[in-house]
Each structure stands twice: as structure tokens, then as C-alpha cells.
Amino acid sequence: MKRIVGFALNYYKIILLLAILAVSSSVTQDPLQNIKNMIMIQAPFVMIYSFGMTLAVITGGLDLSLGSIAAFSTCAAAFLIIKDQIFIGIAACLLIGAGLGLLNGLLITKAKVNPFIATYGMDWVIRGAVYIMMGGAMIYHFSSDFKIIADGSFLGISNLVYIALAILAILMFVFQKTVFGRNVYSTGANIKVSRLTGVNTDLVIVVVYMISGVLASTSGLLYVARLDCAEAFLGKNFGLQALAATLIGGTSLQGGKGGVGNTVIGVLIMVFLMNCLNVLKVSTLWQDAVFGLVIVVSALLEMAKQRYANYLQL
């Protein structure tokens, strides 16, 4: 019994994911096609901006401005891309993402604003700026050279998957294997000790928010390429979705723990759960409630895992 409970607690995320897959597969016509769709088209977007959130959470903060950064940077870049300045447009988009992340980082480290307040406030400010910039208009009909980024595929696998995996690999390497990554974790675990050990904690935090900004604009760009439309409303719920995926994945808000690897599972659980609720024809009114429940329950399971780790010999 002890071993079964221990196993279940240790691998509850995988078990949860498999359970969701089993339920959705049992009601869909073509389960494999359904899973493929989710992984190819839905998951990569969510994953990329959720990585940004995860990194911010590891430093002990969070980034609620992901969605508006995505909207602002892509809308601004869309003016260039629509004139076939694709590379300059993409570069501008990523630069704007980094710049807005820099602003977040400076607010948090230099002005010492709480990360929640800083990024939540910035979210409104940036979103307001996009509305003003776009004035209710949309930019669409991009050239196919641009759209192929999201629409194209290689060896039957969507480009989106390659891009997400490449980003995952880079982040895993940087955050697990480099001195910078180590400093991010140590800053999150205890900023005071890290500073007193000579780590430039301000720089570490600023760079993480810049990376987070770049990831937000990357996923925004992919959305625009996919939907063939840049609009001011893009990414309205990026921030909270990313936070949910991060938490479900098991990265703790305390900071210094977890990682982008965890978030991959968190995103898959989230994406397949939404898909499952859709195919089960659960009313949208109930979907939010179920979704929230999963967040709370996974937090409880994570707590149980820590509390009984000794007893269950995990």
C-alpha cells in the first residue's frame, strides 16, 4: 500500500496526463489524430510563453505581462512584416520583447517593486499602448514566406514543434548547465545569500525577465503567423495560463525550484485537459471550474509529496 501511494504521488503528473488522454481518446473518433493535433498545433504556443513564466517564477517572481508583451511586439512588428521586411520585423519583435522585459526587470530590481505589482501594472500599460497603436484595426494577409514559419512542416512534423523543442533544449542547457542558470536558481532560493556570495542578483533577475519577454514575443509571432492576423487582443490570457501550466508542472512559487522540463508536462496536462473537456462537450461554464480544480489539486498533491517524502521513501 505504502509503495503504491508513494508511486502514485511520485508520478501523479504522468498518471493525470494519461488519465486525461484515456478519457478524451475514448470519446473521440480518431484519438491519434486528436493527440497529434494537440501536440502539433496547440501545445507549442502555450509551451513557449509558459517557459517565460517558469523562469520568472524560479527567480521568486512572476511575469503577468507576457500576453501584452506578445501583443505589443507583434503588432509593432506587423507593420514591418506586412511590407515584406520579414527579417527586420522578426528582429524588431524580439527586441521589443526583450526591451519590455528589461523594463519589468528594472522595475523589480532597481525600483524594488514587487514582481506581481510590477508585471501586473505593466500588463495594463502595455495593453493600453497596443490599443492606442492599433486603433481598433487589424493587420492581416501576410506573405507566405512569413506564414510558413508556423504553417510549414518538415518530415511530417510541424515547424512549431521544432521551434518549441529547440527553445526547450536551449533553456534546459542554459538553466541546468551554466553558471548563469545556477545563479538564477540560487537567486530564487535565497536572494540575500546569493548577493552576499557575490552574485549580481539584479543582473540575473533583469536578464531572466528579458528572456521571458523574448519568449512572449516569440510565441506571439508564431500566433500571428498561424492566424495570419495581428491584433491588439492577442494573448489576453497568456499570463494566467502560463502561471497555471507552471504550477501544474510543479515549479514552486517560493522560487529556486522546478524548471522548464516540469512545465512541458504542465502544459501537456493543461492542453489535453481543455481538449478533453471540449470533446466531452462539457459546458464552457464548467470548464473554468474544472480547470481551477486541477490547479488546486496539483498543488495539494505536491504538498503531500513533500510532507510524506520521508515516510514514503520517495
Partner 1 sequence: MLVSARHAGLEFRGIRILTDTILEIRNICKSFSGVPVLEDINMSIKKGEVHVIVGENGAGKSTLMKIISGVYRKDKGELFFEGEPVQINNVQKALNVGIGIIHQEFNLLPHRTIGQNIFLGREPIKSNFLKIIDHDLICKKSKELLDYLELDIDPRTLVYNLGIAQQQMVEVAKALCFKSKVLIMDEPTATLTRKETVKLFEIIKKLRSEGVSIIYISHRLEEIKQIADTLTVLRDGRVVGDLSIENASIDQIIRMMVGREIKDQYERQYHLHGEEVLRTENLGAKRFSNVNISLHRGEIVGLSGLVGAGRTEIAKTIFGEDAIEKGSVYIYGKKYQRMSTQKATRLRIGLVPEDRKEEGAIMEMPIRHNIVHAVLPRLFKSAVISRKTELSVAKKYMEELGIRAPSVNKLVKLLSGGNQQKVVIAKWVCADCEILIFDEPTRGIDVGAKAEIYGIMSELVERGKAILMISSDLPELIGMCDRIYTIKDGMVTAEFSRTEATQEKILAACV
- Location of C-alpha cell 502514485: 8
Residue 177 within binding range of partner 1, rule CB under 8 A: yes
Which CB sits closer to partner 1, 83 or 110? 110
CA distances from 54 to 9, 139, 208, 262, 310 (A): 22, 31, 10, 9, 27
State how far Cα 222 lies from the chain centre: 13
User: Strands 157-158 and 229-230: what pairing?
Assistant: unpaired
Q: Using DSSP, state whether 300 is helix, strand or coil.
A: helix
**Cell numbers representing residue 140 in the block:** 492581416
Q: Which of 36, 147, 226, 257 binds partner 1 (CB under 8 A)?
A: 257
CB of 198 to partner 1, least distance (A): 3
Residue 73 within binding range of partner 1, rule CB under 8 A: no
Residue 180 within binding range of partner 1, rule CB under 8 A: yes
Residue 200 within binding range of partner 1, rule CB under 8 A: yes
Residue 219 within binding range of partner 1, rule CB under 8 A: no
Phi-psi region of 229 (alpha: psi -120 to 50; beta: other; left: phi over 0): beta
Which CB sits closer to partner 1, 158 or 194? 194
Which CB sits closer to partner 1, 141 or 192? 192
CA distances from 259 to 104, 171, 213, 247, 281 (A): 21, 9, 17, 11, 33
Residue 10 within binding range of partner 1, rule CB under 8 A: no
CB of 184 to partner 1, least distance (A): 12
Residue 189 within binding range of partner 1, rule CB under 8 A: yes
Residue 141 within binding range of partner 1, rule CB under 8 A: no
Which CB sits closer to partner 1, 2 or 177? 177
Q: Which of 56, 199, 208, 214 binds partner 1 (CB under 8 A)?
A: 199
81 Cβ contact partners less than 8 Å away, ≥ 6 residues apart: 89, 90, 142, 143, 146
> Segment near partner 1 (CB under 8 A), from 65-73, 177-185, 218-226, 243-251?
177-185
CB of 189 to partner 1, least distance (A): 5
Distance separating alpha carbons of residues 267 and 51, to the nearest angstrom: 10
Q: Which residues bind partner 1 (CB under 8 A)?
A: 177-180, 182-183, 185-186, 189-190, 192-200, 256-257, 310-311
